[in-house]
Amino acid sequence: MSHTLSTEQSLIVAGAAIALFLVSHVFLRLRTRSTKAKSLKISEIYVYPIKSLRPTKLESAVATKYGFEHDRVFMLLQVLPDGYRNMAVSRYPDMTQFLTSIEHRKDGKAEVHVTFSAFGNEEKSRTLSVPLAPDTEKLDPFNVDMHGSPTAAFKMPHEYSTWFSECFGYEVVLVFLGDNKREVLWRDLVQTQNAALLTRVPLLGSAIPQTPQITFADCAPYLVVSSTSLDNVSSRLAPDEPMDVTKFRPNIVLSGADEAWEEDYWSKVRVGSIELIMKHNCVRCASVNVDYGTGKPGTGEAGQVLKKLQKDRRVDKGAKWSPVFGRYAFWRGANNAHVFKVGDEAIVTDRNKDRSIFSKLPR
């Protein structure tokens, strides 16, 4: 019996060998990616007790479905002749002159200490302590509307607003969120009344049909960024002035990504038993150009960060004029709190095939 293969059989065998090689190559690449993803670590944690002031850097923080404990539970509003205006760094760069730290006292109460740095003039610096859990029964109600997502809140006592007003040089009020929450504005997360009666919210792993809720954070409970991408931004600046990650206002900084901008495609990241769902990009504005030392628009290359990112980071079709840096994240899992620590492993468990599209519900 002849064992010589025909030309057709030889082609089939060769094709099968090539296919096997390609499949093996892809499998190995996927395994490599999965293995590398497991090496991601939480390298920094930030909490912003008072929205748009400088953050408190922590070694660990209590994570909940609404964000880190104490994150963006206060906010400032400017008093205008016809009402109030929400304050944020993009419009009020001098907010960067207020440093914050959190103290847990022996009596079990917690305070945020706010230090006005007075634009580098230490002689004029002053500090205020604000209780992180004030008695809301003693506070006047106050309504806040952020981006068309309203919430009830509470006006803090006069002495706190007066302290901030003296620092800013114009009248402001400090308000506290309390147990209230806002509904998110993402089109793909908002549950209409009819849909809520018929569907669950798989994002939260909950049987309760509702739109996810957040604090005074703009868009989501968490903002996650990559230190590898931060290095890419720093490479665009002068060697002696690397990019300050806090200008991007992250809650969680992850280190260990193999390449810059990998996070554009992350859809699920697990920390311990908690899964963070990432469905949206964070698009950037001129606030990243602010000089944190002066509280004014930056000069030189540091004042051109937004322009530099616009060259190649306008990658979201839903916000085509704005560069992307970081991913918004929502909590998925049990409602009980979980402690996140610097050094915790963060595993990318799922990636999107295509880029996310920024789409907030118009109101």
**pLDDT per residue as tens, the chain (363 positions):** 444 545 555 545 445 554 454 444 444 444 434 434 447 999 999 999 999 999 999 999 999 999 999 999 999 999 999 999 999 999 999 999 999 999 999 898 999 999 998 777 777 789 999 999 999 999 999 999 999 999 999 999 999 999 999 999 999 999 999 999 999 988 888 765 444 443 444 544 443 346 789 999 999 999 999 999 999 999 999 999 999 999 999 999 999 999 999 999 999 999 999 999 999 999 999 999 999 999 999 999 999 999 999 999 999 999 999 999 999 999 987 777 899 999 999 999 999 999 999 987 655
Q: Which domain holds residue 192?
A: 40-351
Q: In what order do the strands lie in the sheet with 222-226?
A: 56-58, 41-47, 252-255, 222-226, 324-332, 274-283, 266-271, 346-351
- The pLDDT score that the predictor gives to residue 362 is 56
CB under 8 A, 24+ apart: contacts of 148-151: 148/185, 148/362, 148/363, 149/182, 149/183, 149/184, 149/185, 149/363, 150/182, 151/177, 151/180, 151/181, 151/182
pLDDT at 173: 98
Tokens of 107: 């009596």
Q: Where are the alpha helices (DSSP H) in the chain?
A: 7-37, 158-168, 193-198, 227-234, 305-310
Number of residues that make up the chain: 363
Q: Is residue 140 part of a domain?
A: yes
What residues have CB less than 8 Å from 225, skipping those under 6 apart? 245, 248, 250, 252, 253, 254, 263, 325, 326, 327
- Residue 187 in any domain: the answer is yes
19 part of a folded domain: no
**Strands 110-116 and 98-104, bridge-based pairing:** antiparallel
What is the model's pLDDT at position 349? 94
What are 361's two structure tokens?
């519900």
Residue 28 lies in a domain: no
107 lies in some domain: yes
Burial category of 244 from C-beta neighbours within 10 Å (exposed 0-12, middle 13-18, buried 19 and up): middle
Q: How far apart are CA 176 and CA 3, in angstroms?
A: 84
Closest CA to 254 of 28, 38, 17, 4: 38
9 within some domain: no
Tokens found for residue 293: 């030392």
Q: CA 76, CA 155: separation in Å to the nearest integer?
A: 10
Task: Compute the distance between CA of residue 337 and CA of residue 62 in angstroms, rounded to an integer.
Answer: 6
Tell me how many domains the chain contains: 1
Q: What is the pTM of this model?
A: 0.85
Tokens of 144: 């806040």
